[in-house]
Amino acid sequence: MSKNAEIADIFDRIADILDLLEDNPFRIRAYRNAARNIRELNEDIEDVAARGELTKIPGIGTDLAQKIKEFLTTGTIRDYEELRKKVPEELIELLAIQGLGPKTIARLNRELGVRNLNDLERVLETKEILKLRGMGEKKVEDIRRGIELFKQSSARIPLGIALPLAEEIIEGIVKIPGTRGTIAAGSLRRMKETIGDIDILTLAEQRERVVKAFTKLPLVKEILAAGDTKGSVVLKNGIQVDLRVVEPDSYGAALQYFTGSKAHNIKLRTLAIEKGLKINEYGVFRGKEKIGGETEEEVYTVLGIPWIPPELREDRGEIEAALSGKLPVLVQLEDIKGDLHVHSKWSDGNATVEEMVAKARELGYEYIAVTDHSPSSRIAKGLSIERLYEKKKEIESLNKKLKDIRILMGAEVDIKSDGSLDYPDDVLKTLDIVIASVHSGFKMDRETMTRRIIKALQNPFVHILAHPTGRLIGEREPYEVDIEEVIEAAKRYGKAIELNSYYLRLDLNDINVRKAIGSGVKIVISTDSHLPDHMHMMRFGVATARRGWAEKKDVLNTMDFEELSKWLKETKSL
């Protein structure tokens, strides 16, 4: 939803500027929270404004609601335009570099004249940066790594941003008369965690007319190309979208070809050559005779193999598995019976337990685990033992009233630096579900971090290890940890490992999902939701699990409530 994204971007940019101006941290956090909640809103903000319900969005008070109305009416926010004059745009962009905080950037600007990335790289190269008080070689190396990560991530778009945007573009193309079969291709269809640009295919007879209409869609900022069968545009947020309009008898071949991956397609072409065939974007050919290409299934069937789900097409053994009849039956979104990691207003969530449960019911779940933070997470308003038991009473009371869904009383418990947990065992044993996670000490060496996590997994009352590498895509690298050792420990102690569906985590990633299930460790696909609408991100986690070859049997929360309860109790008794 374009207006949602535009307003969220402005609020994030206001927070960036205030950060550099060293403004009130609570004010900065208010803009950040508002931006996140607007970006992840599950309906158009214009509709919310029309109903006069902007202040019902968590984190949106009267002042921010007024700014949203101003943008919807005028296309800009006066206060934002005034703020922009105070800080150079390129300086703000440096905030995205891991290892550089606003105070450091402000000092670099003030003392060394750094105004952009080129200036920063210059002072790193000449070692001028070492003149700054408190700046040592280790810090400089961290900044260099941060720049490398920044450059890599700047060229890629997170799945959680790209997919909703592609769906909006597809919705616009579907409305063009004469189109059918409109679908995303490329790395987006393979559901990679980040993508370069958006590729879309559609069927139409009057192809040039469709391309022309595509270039006039409301989100388009710039037209790069508009030919007979292909159009390329840049959207208002800078993302490139390519549309290919194909003929019916080549649709399947084109979809297969443009879905990729390149490595998968090369192996498929090699297989075709061995059979005396040729495959390209127009079809499958034996000599000059076209023998397939109208559907994707036809392309694969002609080669003597079943259709391969797009998420698997990475040349990681999927073609060999197809040839031997051993393709996995991948988990589906419909298989998920509940979400085992959500937060409420008891800690840093923005909704009540009842509101989170209502959303779970709407999604057709059998159960939901409300797992608020433990005391060490002060910034997340972690629960003292007293407050934890107050929450427990509320959940017990709600469970007595509910007939169609069960609430599990849980906690996301910090793993301390020595591997001990943030609640004592006599508290942990009273909970239905315990999720252990690292929220501090990210710079530990590999061996120490691995020992820390394994010690937590040894605790008899822990069920799940959450977001096990701590990464934030494009923002924070994973901490150093031997994930293979962690997986082996999870197997040894009968624990599950989370695949966190939040679109900037997707942690475990697809490679590590495959390692986990290959070792016989169950994964849990959960959302870490802080708002009811966040629970829709389950689809990103399921997609990542599918990329990791996960089947229904590999995923803990595909169990019904009775099976899950049995597993949770058995894990405690191991």
CATH number at residue 521: 3.20.20.140
Residue 536 lies in a domain: yes
Q: What is the CATH number of the domain that holds 276?
A: 3.30.210.10
Dist CA 390 CA 154 (whole Å): 45
Residues 38, 82: one domain? yes
Last-in-domain residue among 154, 169, 185: 154
pLDDT at 388 exceeding the cut of 90: yes
Residue 553, Cβ neighbours under 10 Å: how many? Answer: 13
Residues 389, 475: one domain? yes
pLDDT of residue 1: 47
Last-in-domain residue among 246, 268, 288: 246
Question: How many structural domains is the chain composed of?
Answer: 4
User: How large is the average pLDDT for residues 264-277?
Assistant: 94
The proportion of the chain whose per-residue pLDDT surpasses 90, expressed as a percent, equals 70
For the chain, what is the mean pLDDT? 92
pLDDT of residue 476: 85
> pLDDT-derived band of residue 96, with 50, 70 and 90 as boundaries?
confident
- Transcribe 397-466 into DSSP letters: HHHHH-SS-EEEEEEEEEB-TTS-BSS-HHHHTTSSEEEEE--S-TT--HHHHHHHHHHHHHSTT--EE-
For residue range 15-50, what is the model confidence (pLDDT) as tens digits? 988 988 888 888 998 998 899 888 878 788 988 999
For residue range 206-255, what is the model confidence (pLDDT) as tens digits? 999 999 999 999 989 999 999 999 999 998 888 899 999 999 999 999 99
pLDDT of residue 574: 60
Residues 504, 542: one domain? yes
Q: Which residues pair with 529 in a beta bridge?
A: 342
Residue 429 lies in a domain: yes
Dist CA 344 CA 351 (whole Å): 5
Residues 361, 445: one domain? yes
Q: What is the CATH number of the domain that holds 79?
A: 1.10.150.110
Coil, strand, or helix at residue 291? strand
Residue 56, Cβ neighbours under 10 Å: how many? Answer: 10
Give, in order, the Cα–Cα distances in Å from 432 to each of 160, 232, 392.
Answer: 31, 52, 10
For residue range 116-160, what is the model confidence (pLDDT) as tens digits? 888 888 888 888 888 788 788 888 888 888 888 777 666 788 999
Task: Decide: 502 and 527 in contact? Cβ < 8 Å.
Answer: yes
Coil, strand, or helix at residue 25? helix
One-letter amino acid for residue 472 of the chain:
L
Task: Decide: 96 and 30 in contact? Cβ < 8 Å.
Answer: no
Residues 360, 484: one domain? yes
Last-in-domain residue among 323, 341, 359: 323
Residue 222, domain extent: 157-246
